[in-house]
Amino acid sequence: MTHEPLTFEGAQTPLQSFNLLAGEAPAAIGGYPKRMFDALVAGICLLCGMPVLLFIAIAIKLSDGGPVFYRDRRIGWNGTHFRCMKFRSMSVDSAALLRDYLQKNQAAALEWAQTRKLKSDPRVTRVGYLLRKSSLDELPQLINVLRGEMSLVGPRPICDQEVSMYGEVMQDYLRARPGLTGVWQVSGRNDVDYGKRTRLDREYIHTWNFWKDLWIILRTFRVVLSARGCY
């Protein structure tokens, strides 16, 4: 099972088939109140967490001299693209490492094709391993939240190659800003197969309310401390 990279030029791309890129964008779920809550909490967290962010940035820089941040193109609300930020947790030559590893390991190649994840990822650095186990690598996404590209809670942001894996649920995904955390994170994370992940996202979007977001945020702290499904 393989997934070819998707492009977004032209009129016949999988993403454009959902007809959300033209005309006035529909309001994201939660509307203005959810957006204001996101901006307020993200701003406070960034200010209060600045010493931790600086410490992590220095640790990454000292480990191998490479960039502190990793920015990846992801699909956001209504089909717009944005650069999703993370602390870099992989080697600077990660693309070559992945290509060589998948060519030599058939089981890993199948795992990557099905989930876009690897439980034993040769690209992850020592510092990166600690960041991933604690989910601290995702803290820079608070900047994405502050910019309005993401929400505190929502479906996790997906890349171009995952559009076909979402299937018809992609229509629902595009109604929400991607989340720093979400129902997938608190339901097993990487231990949950992709089909269940998309169903969880659809249920969240169709049944959204403010109290559900608060429940997910509170539950996220417990999941982070347990490191369940983090790799």
What pLDDT shows up at residue 8?
35
What pLDDT shows up at residue 19?
52
Q: Which of 159, 149, 183, 175 is nearest to 38 (CA)?
A: 149
Provide the residue type at 164 as one letter: S
What pLDDT shows up at residue 223?
80
Q: Rounded distance, CA 194 to CA 162, Å?
A: 10
Provide the residue type at 46 as one letter: L
Q: Rounded distance, CA 111 to CA 99, Å?
A: 14
Q: Which two tokens stand for residue 128?
A: 């990166």
The answer to whether 229 touches 186, Cβ cutoff 8 Å, is no
Q: Which residues of the chain have pLDDT under 50?
A: 1-13, 21-22
DSSP 125-142: -HHHHHHHHHTGGGTTHH
